[in-house]
Chain A
Amino acid sequence: MAKVIHKNSKPLQVNPFKLSQPMGATLAFLGIDKCMPLMHGGQGCTSFTKVFFTRHFCEPIAIQTTAVTDAIAVLDGGDYSIVESVKNITNKVTPSLIGLHTTGLPETKGDDIAGVARQIEFPMVHVNTPDYEGGLESGWAKTCKAMIEQLVEPTEIVDDNKLVLLPHVSLQPIEVEKIKEFIESFGLNVFAVPDLSTSLDGHLGNKQAALSSGGISVDELRTLGDAGLVLTVGDSMQSCASSMQEKNTEMRHYHFAHLHGLEATDALVKVLLTETGFFGPPLTVSRWRRRLQDAMLDSHFSLGQTRFLVAAEPDQLSGLCQTLHDSGGRVTVAISTVDSTQLENLQAEQVMVGDLEDAELMADEYDVIIGNCHCEALAHRLGKGLVLRGFPNWEQVGNALKNDVLYEGGCYLLFEAANTAFAARNEVRHV
């Protein structure tokens, strides 16, 4: 197995691609219909986060801030700014839910947001997401867990046709939709929490919405307790499943480290066949499996001579590495934003928690980079090929519709990686 460095020894991050917990929390709340994420902190955290996701999705992002100032920070335990915020938000719009999440500032002074939320008579979910702990994945996962714990009603009824899908943060809207449809094609009703596939999928609405414009509804969320099945994708989401099972002990849980590539998708099909009693998969599923097999063969020649650096959030990292590896791509360096249980099992030669300076220092060891748009300057400086994946991608449009998962998405990912590697080799030859 690979050599794994779980902790970076540097006293700083240089050219970081790590992102913060509150940002993951914001995104999770944007997967709830008509929600207003409310970030508790200085106004800048919210403003930065809003611009960050607006540029990635090319969509307006609903979010508000409690706008804590230095004077308030000293005097207020959060009561004033949160209560005022809710008042000011509901003066203008009527959200189905306010998603209260913290940043480092109120956590440092120890605001009791659960206590404040209890005083407020408005549907709220609260979650502690200081940005000096964890990262994007944990912020998203904690928020998902908080939504389950605070909203889903316990029940003893079990609906075996109902499945709750808990996707990790790096899955783009179309990927969530494809997984939902894939499972639905086996006759199950699927509810994703959070569900970006109908909110940030880049659809033209009737007007500019002041709240999140799609996602799972709060009513649907409340009644998820009767689901017979819960499916987690990504290790960061695993503990959310136990929160679901606390609502209904009969619920059965299946976990997938990722849903990239042949083997993982096969494993999902197997579960679905067992659970539904189907004798075989729907026609389109078997068709896409054959296409993926063909795509793997078509791309193997280029991939087989290419060394990759993959820089991503751990749950996405594991899927990307596996897909490349299965068709002969050598992931010589895998860099994760944060530590994770995924790191020990990655299909990569070296695995580390780090930043893009680390990537730069290992420039001799790879030909093609897979990572977010901060890798572009790096790829340019070093003359490497680049496949843009992960948050943020400010360089391209269409991010919400990029699909890497299951049999179908695997084809697209492999072709893009193989073509990029081919072009990068040509580039080097011509210089």
Chain B
Amino acid sequence: MATKPKIKQLLDESACSHNKTKKVACNAPKPGATTGGCAFEGAQIALFPYADAAHLVHGPMTCLGTSWETRTTGTSWQGRDLTQAGFTTDVSLNDVVFSGEEKLAKAIAYIIQHYSPEALFVYATCVTALIGDDIDLICKRAAEKYDVPMIPVHAPGFVGSKNLGSRLGGEAVLAHLIGTKEPEETTPFDINLIGEYNVTGDMWQYTPLLEELGIRVLSTLSGDGRVAQIRTAHRAKLNVIVCAKSLISLTRKMEERYGIPSISLSFYGKRDTSKGILAIAEALDDTALVDRARKLVAREEDKLEEKLAPYRAFFKGKKAVLNTGGNKTWSIAAALQDLGIEVVATAVKKATEDDREKARQTLGEKGVLMMNPGAEQARLIDETGADLLLAGGRSLYTAIKKGIAFADVNQEKKKSYGGYDGLLNLAEDLKNAMQNPVFRNVARRAPWQK
């Protein structure tokens, strides 16, 4: 049980700013009034992009049956893409009564024999954690027997939220992989990308630019990731946390253990992408590099501006209301501003203290931070004359009633909005939404309506 992380400590993360003001870090979910995924899902999000590893879910059918192949996570791995494969022990009543350990050991053997992964992540789930299957021991034995790294992931759903699960996933990587292998070579500009999962290939929007500057991505957690690389992560000069709060405990521990400093940034929108690239260069503390970065950023911004010009003309004077949560409350707002759209309001109900602060900075004094967006957004659309509502599906009705364009920000993304080029994708999608007559057309009154 020694490898199990202390959940209390993870929830009390000292690097989280809200813990200076608030006693309880992450509240227990309220029965009958809870949305959002569980810890297992969080761990899965954080670790599944390791495409050279297999991911075995030790649990009943709901856990994996609903969740595999749900994200369009890109990988450049040449072998069989195990990110988009599903492995589960699908435990039965018999396993619940007599233990699922034997089945798990056999399942591991099957995967090693048929898929030869570089490593195997084994996920505990509510049922198998409750019946007390010792996945630590089974993983240890299997690792010795097959000489393949086996990583037990202790993030059964009932321990908490998605966010906590991502932390637990990070803890598993720290306990079992980081520091277990030396890199073939090191450079002064080696970085780790932490919390970037490369959904829709977001990461590939900016990694070529980093490479051009001579910055090497030594490893990632875990976008387009390789287990062999994350094992060498302790030799990086810098940890870059991308748009995610959940792995802050991991980077703090890496700082304590290996002396690796970390910075947190986002690659959404023009300004954030430029700021991000410069911040990495500055943190690596090399004047020539910073100089190169400045030139590159200027070049890329010019290139982008040229391509954006027709969109800017179209978006001139357009206003948007944004209703989402987490870091999207400000990162999407910033991206919209880069397109020349005025963001008149953003929802901060489902945002951390940090995110609220950033949202305030992004929107300025005039912008409205909605604490109760469901009730406020319709009124704000009227008052501000907004042209576009960006929100989750349930707000579609508001947009139709107000006769304005709607874009679903929570929909599974099919293409990347990250980096400089992603902004063009976003611009194109929003332009299409605003030009689409569908919102007016479906609002037509039926001939029999008075």
Which residues of A are interface residues toward B (Cβ below 8 A)? 10-16, 18-20, 22-23, 38, 41-49, 51-52, 54-55, 60, 64-71, 73, 80-82, 84-89, 91-92, 103-105, 108-109, 130-133, 135, 204-208, 373-374, 377, 394
Contacts of B63 in A (CB 8 A): 44-45, 48
Contact assessment for A42 and B30 in the assembled complex, using a CB-CB cutoff below 8 Å: no
B61 touches A19 (CB 8 A): yes
B210 at the interface (CB under 8 A from A): no
Contact B61 A16 (CB under 8 A): yes
Partner of B69, one of A10, A73, A377: A377
Flag if B393 contacts A60 (CB, 8 Å): yes
With A11-B110, A68-B158 known to touch, is A104 a contact of B394 (CB < 8 Å)?
Answer: no
Task: For the complex formed, measure the closest distance between the CB of A298 and the CB atoms of chain B, giving whole angstroms.
Answer: 35
- With an 8 A cutoff between CB atoms, is B317 at the interface? no
Residues from chain B with a CB closer than 8 A to the CB of A44 are: 37-41, 63, 157
Q: B38–A47 contact, CB under 8 A?
A: yes
- Having A11-B109, A132-B92, one finds 16 other A-B pairs with CB under 8 Å, namely A11-B110, A23-B66, A41-B126, A43-B36, A44-B41, A48-B62, A60-B393, A66-B31, A84-B31, A85-B31, A104-B62, A104-B96, A133-B92, A205-B397, A208-B396, A374-B69
User: How many Å lie between the Cα of A46 and that of B157 in the bound state?
Assistant: 11
A16 touching B90, Cβ below 8 Å:
yes
How near does chain B come to A369, taking the closest CB pair, in angstroms? 15
Q: CB distance A14 to B86 under 8 Å? A: yes
Please name all residues of chain A whose beta carbon is closer than 8 Å to the beta carbon of B29 when the two chains form the complex.
43, 65, 67, 69
Closest Cβ of chain A to B245, distance in Å, is: 19
B35, closest chain A residue (CB): A47
Question: Once bound together, how far apart are the Cα atoms of A42 and B59, in whole Å?
Answer: 13
> Is B33 interfacial (CB-CB < 8 Å)?
yes
Bound: A66/B93 CA distance, A: 22
Contact residues in B for A104 (Cβ distance below 8 Å): 59-60, 62, 91, 96, 126-127
- Is B34 at the interface (CB under 8 A from chain A)? yes
CA distance A89 to B393 in the complex (A): 21
Chain B residues near A207 (CB, 8 Å)?
397
| In-complex Cβ contact of B66 among A15, A48, A65, A69 (8 A) | A48
Choose from A16, A47, A84 the contact partner of B65 (Cβ within 8 Å). Answer: A16
Chain B 65-107 interface residues, beta-carbon cutoff 8 Å to A: 65-70, 84-93, 95-96, 103, 106-107
Nearest B-chain residue to A84, judged by Cβ: B31
The answer to whether B36 touches A130 (Cβ under 8 A) is: no
**B61 in complex: contacting residue of A71, A88, A131, CB < 8 Å:** A131
Most chain A beta-carbon neighbours within 10 Å: one of B38, B41, B59, B160: B38
> B32 at interface (Cβ–Cβ under 8 A)?
yes
Which residues from chain B contact A20 at a C-beta distance below 8 Å?
Answer: 60-62, 65-66
**Are the CB atoms of A208 and B394 closer together than 8 Å?**
yes
Q: How near does chain B come to A130, taking the closest CB pair, in angstroms? A: 7
- B261 CB → nearest A CB, Å: 34
B128 CB, nearest partner CB in chain A, Å: 9
A sample of 15 cross-chain residue pairs with beta-carbon separation below 8 angstroms, ordered by A number, consists of A12-B106, A13-B90, A16-B65, A20-B60, A44-B38, A45-B63, A46-B34, A73-B130, A84-B31, A84-B32, A88-B30, A88-B33, A103-B60, A105-B158, A373-B69
Q: Are A49 and B66 in contact (CB under 8 A)?
A: yes
Q: Is the CB of A377 within 8 A of B66?
A: no
- CB of A77 to closest CB in B, whole Å: 14
Report chain A residues within 8 Å CB of B60.
20, 103-104, 130-132
Q: Hey, which chain B residues are within 8 Å of A394, CB to CB? A: 70, 412
Mask, B401-423, CB within 8 Å of A = 1, is: 00000000000100000000000
CB distance from B56 to the nearest CB of A (A): 7
The one of A14, A19, A89, A109 that contacts B130, using a Cβ cutoff of 8 Å: A109
Closest CB of chain A to B350's CB: distance in Å? 14
Q: A13-B88, A16-B88 are in contact. Are A65 and B31 (CB under 8 A)?
A: yes
Central interface residue in A54, A208, A373, by most chain B CB within 10 Å:
A208
Q: What residues of chain B lie closer than 8 Å to A70, measured between beta carbons?
A: 129, 156, 158-159
Known contacts A54-B393, A377-B69, A73 near B158 by CB under 8 Å: yes
A86 in contact with B159 given A44-B39, A133-B93 (CB within 8 Å): no
B110 touches A23 (CB 8 A): no
Q: B131 contacts which chain A residues (CB < 8 A)?
A: 108
Residues of A with C-beta under 8 A to B37: 43-44, 47-48
| Contact across chains for A89 and B32 when beta carbons are under 8 A apart | yes
Q: Which residues of A contact B36 (CB under 8 A)?
A: 43, 47
B32-A42 in contact (CB<8A): no
**Closest Cβ–Cβ distance, residue B133 to chain A (whole Å):** 12
Please name all residues of chain B whose beta carbon is closer than 8 Å to the beta carbon of A206 when the two chains form the complex.
Answer: 397
Q: Which residues of B contact A81 (CB under 8 A)?
A: 31
Query: B34's contact among A65, A131, A133, A377, by CB below 8 Å, is which?
Result: A65
Closest to A89 in B: B32
Contact at A45–B31, with CB atoms within 8 Å? no
B111 within 8 A of A: yes
Quick check: B85 and A14 within 8 Å, CB to CB? Answer: yes
- B199 sits at the interface (CB 8 A): no
User: Could you tell me if A51 and B106 are in contact, using CB atoms closer than 8 angstroms?
Assistant: no
**If A47-B38, A103-B62, A108-B96 touch, does A12 touch B158 (CB 8 Å cutoff)?**
no
A353 CA / B28 CA spacing, docked (Å): 40
Q: Contacting B67 at CB < 8 Å: which of A48, A73, A109, A132?
A: A48
Expressed in whole angstroms, the Cα–Cα distance for A240 and B166 within the complex equals 43
Measured CA separation A373–B70 after assembly (Å): 11
On whether the beta carbons of A38 and B157 are closer than 8 Å, the reply is no
Give the residue among B65, B66, B396 with the most A Cβ atoms within 10 A. Answer: B65
> How near does chain B come to A362, taking the closest CB pair, in angstroms?
15
Q: Distance in Å from the Cβ of B389 to the closest Cβ of chain A?
A: 13
Cβ contact within 8 Å between B85 and A42: no
Residue B15 lies at the interface, judged by CB distance under 8 Å to chain A: no
CA distance A205 to B87 in the complex (A): 39
User: By the criterion CB–CB under 8 Å, are B62 and A49 in contact?
Assistant: yes
Identity of the chain A residue whose Cβ is nearest the Cβ of B400 in the assembled complex: A204
CB closest chain-B residue, reference A10 = B110
* 0/1 interface trace, chain B 321-356, chain A, CB 8 Å (1 if under): 000000000000000000000000000000000000
In the assembly, what is the distance between CA of A103 and CA of B125, in Å?
A: 12
Does any Cβ of A come within 8 Å of B236's Cβ? no
Query: What are the nearest 7 A-B pairs in CB distance?
Result: A44-B38, A85-B32, A42-B157, A88-B32, A11-B106, A44-B157, A48-B66
Contact between chains at B130 and A42 (CB < 8 Å): no
B64 at the interface (CB under 8 A from A): yes
The chain A residue with its CB closest to the CB of B411 is: A55
Chain B min CB distance to A382 (Å): 13
With A48-B66, A70-B159, A88-B33 given, is the CB distance from A15 to B130 under 8 Å? no
Cβ contacts under 8 Å, B59 to chain A: 104
Q: How far is the CB of B234 from chain A (nearest CB, A)?
A: 31
Task: Give, as a whole number of angstroms, the nearest-CB distance from A74 to chain B.
Answer: 9
With A and B bound together, what is the CA distance between A41 and B126 in angstroms? Answer: 9
A80 cross-chain contacts in B, Cβ below 8 A: 31
Q: Does B442 contact A (CB under 8 A)?
A: yes
